[in-house]
C-alpha cells in the first residue's frame, strides 16, 4: 500500500524508544541508495527534507560516512523518532535533526551550503504551491553543482502508470483537492525555473521514479 497524507495516515509501528518504522522504507531504501551511490559526493553536507521515521537518514549516513547529514521534518513525533534512530545507529555524521516546514520561507540553512538534498515521498502529499516552495528552497540551499535526489510517484505525460497509481492519487485528492501526483513534465519545468537540470530520472520499485536534479554552476 502506498503512503498516505501525513494528516490522515495511520499511526506507524513504534518501539519503546520512540523509533517509528515505515513499511515502505524496507522496500525502497536499497534501490534509493543504489542510485545515490552513482553520483553522491564522497563528503560534504547533505540535508534530507521530510525525513519521516528517520530510517532512511541512518542508512544514508552509514552508506556515506564522510557526508554530514541533517535530517528534517515538520512533525514533532517524527523528529523524536529520527533522534531515536540516530542514537540507536551509533553514527556520528549527523547534525541534530531540525524542524523544517517546506512551505515556510525561513529554512535554517545558508544559501549554497549543501552538496546534496534528498526528498522521498513528499511531493505527492503537498499542493502545487508548496511544491514550488520546495523547489525554491532546495535550489537555494544547494551549492552550484549540488544534487537533489527526489523520489516518489509521478504521472508521465499526464498518464498514470497503473490503476493502483490512479486510485492512490484519487484517494489523496479526496482527502485534499490541492494535493496528489505531479507530472514528470511539471517537475522538469519547476527544475528549470529554479536553475536545476534533470541529470537523470531512474525507474524505481512500485512505479516510483527518482529524479537526480543538478544545480547549475
Ligand atoms: C510519506 S512520509 C515520507 C517520510 C520519509 N521521507 C519516507 O519516505 O519514509 C511524508 C513525510 O513528510 C512530512 N511532511 C509533510 N508535509 C511537510 C512539509 N510541509 N514540510 C516538511 N515535511 C513535511 C511528514 O511529516 C512525513 O514525515
Q: What is the pLDDT of residues 133-152, one digit of tens each?
A: 999 999 999 999 999 999 99
The pLDDT-based confidence of 26 (bands split at 50, 70, 90) is confident
Average pLDDT over residues 192-212: 98
Q: Tell me which of 12, 54, 69, 74 to substitute to probe ligand 1's pocket, judged by most ligand atoms within 8 Å of the beta carbon.
A: 74
Domain, as residue range, for 125:
52-215
Residue 208 Cα to ligand 1 midpoint, Å, equals: 16
Tell me the per-residue pLDDT of 180-189, one tens digit each, with 9 for 90 and over.
999 999 999 9
Determine which residue's CA is closest to atom 26 belonging to ligand 1: 52
* Least-confidence region, from 24-28, 42-46, 72-76, 202-206: 24-28
Determine which residue's CA is closest to atom 5 belonging to ligand 1: 52
Q: How many domains does the chain have?
A: 1
The pLDDT-based confidence of 6 (bands split at 50, 70, 90) is very low
In a domain, 156, yes or no: yes
0.85 exceeded by pTM: yes
pLDDT of residue 12 exceeding 90: no
* Least-confidence region, from 24-28, 115-119, 167-171: 24-28
Return contacts of 29-32, CB within 8 angstroms, 24+ apart. 29/55, 29/56, 29/59, 31/204, 31/205, 31/210, 32/56, 32/120, 32/149, 32/151, 32/204, 32/210
In a domain, 44, yes or no: no
How confident is the model at residue 106, as a pLDDT? 87
Residue 160: CATH number of its domain: 3.40.50.150
Q: Which atom of ligand 1 is nearest to the CA of 53?
A: 9
Average pLDDT over residues 151-175: 98
Report the share of the chain in percent with pLDDT over 90: 90
Average pLDDT over residues 2-16: 54
In a domain, 11, yes or no: no
- CA separation, residue 18 to residues 13, 71, 95 (Å): 10, 16, 19
12 lines ligand 1 (CB under 6 A): no
In a domain, 138, yes or no: yes
How confident is the model at residue 17, as a pLDDT? 84
In a domain, 186, yes or no: yes
Report the share of the chain in percent with pLDDT over 70: 94
Q: Which atom of ligand 1 is nearest to the CA of 126?
A: 16
How confident is the model at residue 7, as a pLDDT? 44
pLDDT, averaged across the chain: 94
In a domain, 204, yes or no: yes
Q: Which atom of ligand 1 is nearest to the CA of 130?
A: 19
In a domain, 145, yes or no: yes
Amino acid at each position: 500500500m502506498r503512503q498516505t497524507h501525513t494528516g490522515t495516515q495511520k499511526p506507524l509501528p513504534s518501539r519503546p524508544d520512540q523509533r517509528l518504522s515505515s513499511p515502505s522504507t524496507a522496500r525502497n531504501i536499497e534501490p534509493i541508495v543504489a542510485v545515490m551511490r552513482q553520483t553522491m559526493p564522497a563528503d560534504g553536507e547533505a540535508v534530507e527534507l521530510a525525513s519521516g521515521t528517520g530510517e532512511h537518514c541512518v542508512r544514508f549516513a552509514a552508506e556515506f560516512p564522510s557526508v554530514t547529514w541533517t535530517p528534517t521534518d515538520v512533525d514533532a513525533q517524527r523528529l523524536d523518532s529520527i533522534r531515536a534512530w540516530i542514537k540507536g545507529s551509533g553514527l556520528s555524521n549527523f547534525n541534530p535533526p531540525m524542524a523544517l516546514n517546506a512551505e515556510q520561507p525561513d529554512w535554517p540553512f545558508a544559501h549554497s551550503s549543501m552538496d546534496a538534498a534528498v526528498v522521498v515521498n513528499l511531493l505527492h502529499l503537498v499542493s502545487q504551491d508548496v511544491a514550488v516552495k520546495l523547489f525554491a528552497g532546495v535550489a537555494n540551499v544547494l551549492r552550484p553543482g549540488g544534487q537533489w535526489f527526489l523520489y516518489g510517484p509521478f504521472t508521465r505525460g499526464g498518464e498514470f502508470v497503473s490503476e493502483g497509481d490512479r486510485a492512490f492519487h484519487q484517494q489523496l485528492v479526496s482527502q485534499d483537492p490541492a494535493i496528489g501526483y505531479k507530472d514528470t513534465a511539471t517537475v522538469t519545468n519547476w527544475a528549470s525555473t529554479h536553475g536545476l537540470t534533470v541529470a537523470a530520472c531512474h525507474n524505481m520499485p512500485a512505479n516510483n521514479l527518482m529524479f537526480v536534479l543538478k544545480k547549475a554552476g
